[in-house]
């Protein structure tokens, strides 16, 4: 089989590898499509602290089960499935309280173990989620990015009284906007980004008001508009954002962060406690695939709006370069296998 392998930072090779055999409790997928995420590019460029090389990248993938290991019902062969990249031990403290996404022995497919940019992949059967026929292949490939939004929203409980502010209109911001609009029905969605084309996408994906905060003070702008956000999602993840969000939030607001920057940011207790703010963090997803499949099946979200490009997997280098260098016009890139 052909696999997209990052042999070491900056060295991407399409390798011939033996087709893997599913072990007990596993299924094997014939991968049909996969999505490129920023973290794939970070592994390619050597900027992902968790990656070990060589690595087959890809954690957003869709395909058909073509073989099963011992103990897995053979009736699953032929089913259309997406893979949940979160592989967890099942018995540590986080796993015991329903948070396998922060398992003490976490293995993320495509990061800690070989991923879905490959013609075949094996994974635990419980990580393979069956896709109803009503969801087309391309949309199914987009389920994983929406699970990130599902995870943060499940923690923050958005509701109809909420005035939401989303920082960043990349894939993570746009999936969050779609969920806030289509699933949770918040009162108003404001989006801040530094790229006008991305803000236009935010509007198409459900934002009511968009603000380019390149040259303006967002806190002052919102104050002038009389807006005090009650729910803030940081999907831009710059360290300067959390202190700003604490300052401009309404009393009793919730703030959700998703970033992995190791740079410090300065916050103070008074800013949080005086307004009794709640700060959530969210990593990957904890069993949110069924939730997103249901959202997609009932047309509450519209994944096609994010897909701007599609390539054959043999053009993966070109696809990654466009993804990296063209944020004005490129959002989600799919690879066909």
Rule CB under 6 A: which residues touch ligand NAI? 38, 148, 167-173, 192-195, 198, 213, 235-238, 241, 258-260, 282-284, 327
Smallest separation (angstroms) from ligand NAI to the CB of 110: 12
Taking the complex as a whole, the smallest distance from the CB of residue 135 to ligand NAI amounts, in Å, to 22
Q: Provide, rounded to whole angstroms, the least separation between the CB of residue 322 and ligand NAI.
A: 13
Q: CB of residue 196 vs ligand NAI: minimum separation in angstroms?
A: 10
Nearer to ligand NAI, 72 or 249 (CB): 249
Residue 157 beta carbon to ligand NAI: minimum distance, rounded to whole angstroms: 18
Is residue 8 within 8 A of residue 57, CB to CB? The reply is no
Whether 88 and 95 have beta carbons less than 8 Å apart is answered as yes
Return the number of the residue (111 or 172) whose C-beta is nearest ligand NAI: 172
CB-nearer residue toward ligand NAI: 79 or 212: 212
Q: What strand order describes the sheet that includes 254-257?
A: 209-212, 188-193, 163-167, 231-234, 254-257, 278-281
Crossing angle between the packed helical segments 143-156 and 289-297, to the nearest 10 degrees: 110
- Nearest distance in Å: CB 133, ligand NAI: 29
Query: Of 120 and 146, which CB lies nearer to ligand NAI in the complex structure?
Result: 146
Shortest CB 154 distance to ligand NAI, Å = 13
Which residue, 29 or 148, is less far from ligand NAI as judged by CB? 148
- CB-nearer residue toward ligand NAI: 1 or 267: 267
Which residue's CB is nearer to ligand NAI, number 65 or number 166?
A: 166
- Shortest distance, position 256 Cβ to ligand NAI, whole Å: 9
Contacts of 241 (CB under 8 A, 6+ apart): 167, 234
CB 171 to ligand NAI: min, Å: 4
Residue among 27 and 36 whose Cβ is closer to ligand NAI: 36
Output the residue with the shortest Cβ distance to ligand NAI: 170
User: Between 81 and 102, whose beta carbon lies closer to ligand NAI?
Assistant: 102
Q: CA 134, 135, 137, 138: dihedral to nearest 10 degrees?
A: 140
């Amino acid at each position: 089989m052909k696999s997209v392998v990052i042999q070491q930072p900056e060295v991407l090779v399409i390798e011939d590898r033996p087709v893997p055999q599913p072990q007990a409790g596993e299924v094997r997928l014939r991968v049909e499509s996969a999505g490129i995420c920023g973290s794939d590019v970070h592994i390619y460029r050597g900027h992902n602290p968790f990656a070990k090389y060589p690595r087959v990248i890809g954690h957003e993938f869709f395909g058909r089960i073509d073989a099963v290991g011992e103990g897995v019902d053979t009736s699953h062969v032929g089913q259309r499935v997406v893979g949940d990249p979160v592989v967890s031990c099942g018995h540590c403290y986080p796993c015991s309280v329903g948070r396998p996404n922060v398992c003490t022995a976490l293995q993320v497919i495509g990061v800690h173990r070989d991923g879905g940019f490959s013609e075949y992949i094996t994974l635990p059967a419980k990580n393979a989620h069956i896709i109803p026929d009503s969801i087309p292949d391309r949309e199914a490939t987009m389920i994983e990015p929406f699970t990130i939004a599902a995870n943060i929203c499940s923690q923050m409980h958005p509701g109809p009284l909420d005035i939401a502010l989303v920082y960043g209109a990349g894939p993570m911001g746009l999936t969050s906007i779609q969920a806030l609009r289509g699933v949770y029905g918040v009162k108003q969605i404001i989006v801040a980004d530094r790229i006008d084309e991305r803000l236009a996408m935010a509007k198409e994906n459900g934002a009511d008001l968009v603000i380019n905060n390149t040259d303006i003070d967002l806190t002052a702008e919102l104050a002038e508009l009389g807006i005090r956000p009650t729910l803030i999602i940081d999907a831009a993840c710059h360290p300067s954002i959390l202190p700003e969000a604490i300052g401009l939030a309404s009393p009793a607001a919730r703030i959700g962060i998703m970033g992995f920057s190791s740079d410090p940011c300065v916050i103070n207790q008074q800013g949080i406690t005086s307004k009794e703010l709640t700060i959530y963090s969210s990593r990957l997803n904890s069993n949110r695939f069924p939730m997103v499949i249901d959202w997609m099946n009932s047309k509450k979200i519209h994944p096609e709006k994010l897909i701007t490009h599609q390539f054959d997997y043999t053009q993966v280098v070109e696809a990654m370069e466009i993804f990296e260098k063209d944020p004005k016009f490129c959002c989600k890139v799919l690879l066909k296998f």
